[in-house]
Amino acid sequence: MLSQLSLYLSRQAASPARYVLEQALTGVFGWIPTPIGMAARAAAYRLMLRMQGIAAIERGVRIRFASHITLGHGAYLDQHVYLHACPGGIHIGRHSLVMHGSVLHVYNFRDLPHAGIWIGEHSLVGEYNVIRGQGGVRIGNRVYTSPMVQLVAVNHVFDDPSRPFIEQGITAEGITIEDDVWIGSGVVVTDGVTIGKGAVVAAGSVVTRDVEPFTVVGGVPARLLRRVGEGERPTALPVHFSQA
Instruction: Tell me what pLDDT residue 10 has.
Output: 85
| Contact of 104 with 78, CB cutoff 8 Å | no
d(CA 87, CA 85): 6
Instruction: Tell me what pLDDT residue 244 has.
Output: 44
CATH topology (fold) of 72-227: UDP N-Acetylglucosamine Acyltransferase; domain 1 (2.160.10)
Q: For the chain, what's the residue count?
A: 244
Instruction: Tell me what pLDDT residue 241 has.
Output: 53
pTM: 0.90
Instruction: Tell me what pLDDT residue 42 has.
Output: 97
d(CA 70, CA 20): 20
Q: List active site positions.
A: 156
Instruction: Tell me what pLDDT residue 19 has.
Output: 94
φ, ψ dihedrals at 120, nearest 5°: -75, -155
| Contact of 196 with 215, CB cutoff 8 Å | yes
The domain segmentation of the chain, as residue ranges, is 72-227
Residues of the chain with pLDDT under 50: 243-244
Instruction: Tell me what pLDDT residue 156 has.
Output: 86
Residue type, 88: G
Query: Residue 226's Cα: distance from chain center in Å?
Result: 28
Q: How many CA atoms lie within 13 A of 117 on its CB side?
A: 27
